[in-house]
Amino acid sequence: MNLITLGVNHETAPVDIRETVSFTTERAQVAINELKSQSLIAECIILSTCNRTEIYCILKEDKTHQHIQDWLHAFFELELSALTPYLYLHHNLDAVKHIMRVSSGLNSLVLGEPQIFGQIKDAYNAARKANSINRTLENLFQHIFKTVKQVRTDTAIGSSPVSVAFSAVALSKQFFGDLSKQTALLLGAGETIELVARHLTEAKIGNLTIANRTFERAHNLAESVGGYAIQLDEIDSHLHEADIVIGSTGSPNVILKKEQVVQALKKRRNTPMFMVDIAVPRDIESSIGQLENVYLYTVDDLQEIIESNKASRQTAALEAEEIIELQANNFMAQLKATQQVNPLIKVYRQQAMVLKKEALDHALHQLEQNVNPEEIIKLLANQLTNKLIHTPTSSLHQAGIEGNKTLIKCAKNILICPQKNKPHH
């Protein structure tokens, strides 16, 4: 096998370089067709995300990674060697390990993030659509999918949130359990609140209200997540409805004051409120945390959780590396065995087809001589059987004479069909 991985990622290349060699789905299809038409690859998958572009390919026998590297420069109309300082290259076993690490989230900006696995599957499906996957990459990626599932099942690599937005929602889920009957009020409409809104939507939040100083931004975000938009000065009319309040406005002044929450609690008849203040400086007055039936967490509280979870993921990553090491070696061993045995199977089948043709030609000749068809069928079956078993039985007889127990045991496993258990009457 001549498998290579060639690519750039967030560790080796700045964003402007990554953008330069980024593939859309359509452009990846064009690239694959070009690689095939130039006879550079036997099989190929192209992965392109905001953090990486990688080409996984089985090279044609007379090609090297330099041909792919030169093609990549030409495809994006770059000067030769412009990408060289940023590219990394892996061959065969190392390439398999690398793809497994990427698919498992071990090579991601956020350790253990699950999104990359979906992106790998999308790249695989796009390559299948482009007819650039044959037996080797098909077997490899099926093995990779099973390995990722094992990593996710047997380690805690993806179970601990490591972002502020995700941690805020994870805490809400821990507090309430099912969020489908809860109402969340989000203060702000920036990038962090957008992430919070999307995580809440994925958690099937019952109702979502987004309050922002600029109503248009709140409205656009609310529309994209199925929520309701208000302006910040309308908070008092809606605060009592909120079971969850998460703030991240970027405002220099406090947005939510103690007296507002006191009034909201009265309307709620002291039903608990869960609050997370992600903002720096704070959006939610710190004294609110002293109120009965209010549970207030700050960005510092989340940071402790995140750091703890990062340590947990690092430990899980070591366990994942062991799984990948084992599974990558297993795949290469299977591949090597397959490559050794396939020519043998091919020759054995060809021999069998020759014997079949000889027996069939003889039977057809006898039919032309008006020999009894029943006699011809019996003769055909006997001749074909005797010819097919002649070489194996002769070899077994010789093994018996020589006392070759290993060969006899192997022959038993290969030649004797296992007896199915018959039902007792």
Q: For strand 244-247 and strand 183-187, is the pairing parallel, antiparallel, or unpaired?
A: parallel
CA distance 209 to 204: 14
What letter would DSSP give residue 284? B
Determine which one of 50, 57, 410, 417 is catalytic: 50
Q: For strand 228-231 and strand 52-59, is the pairing parallel, antiparallel, or unpaired?
A: unpaired
User: Burial of 407 by CB count in 10 Å (0-12 exposed, 13-18 middle, 19+ buried)?
Assistant: middle
Name residue 404's amino acid: N
- Say if residues 90 and 5 touch (Cβ distance below 8 Å): yes
Q: What angle do CA 356, 359, 361 make, to 5 degrees?
A: 105
- Say if residues 162 and 110 touch (Cβ distance below 8 Å): yes
CA distance 401 to 152: 54
> Is residue 417 flagged as an active site residue?
no
DSSP, collapsed to helix, strand or coil, labels residue 131 as: coil
Tokens of 92: 């065969």
- Say if residues 231 and 215 touch (Cβ distance below 8 Å): yes
CA distance 397 to 379: 25
Residues that are catalytic: 50
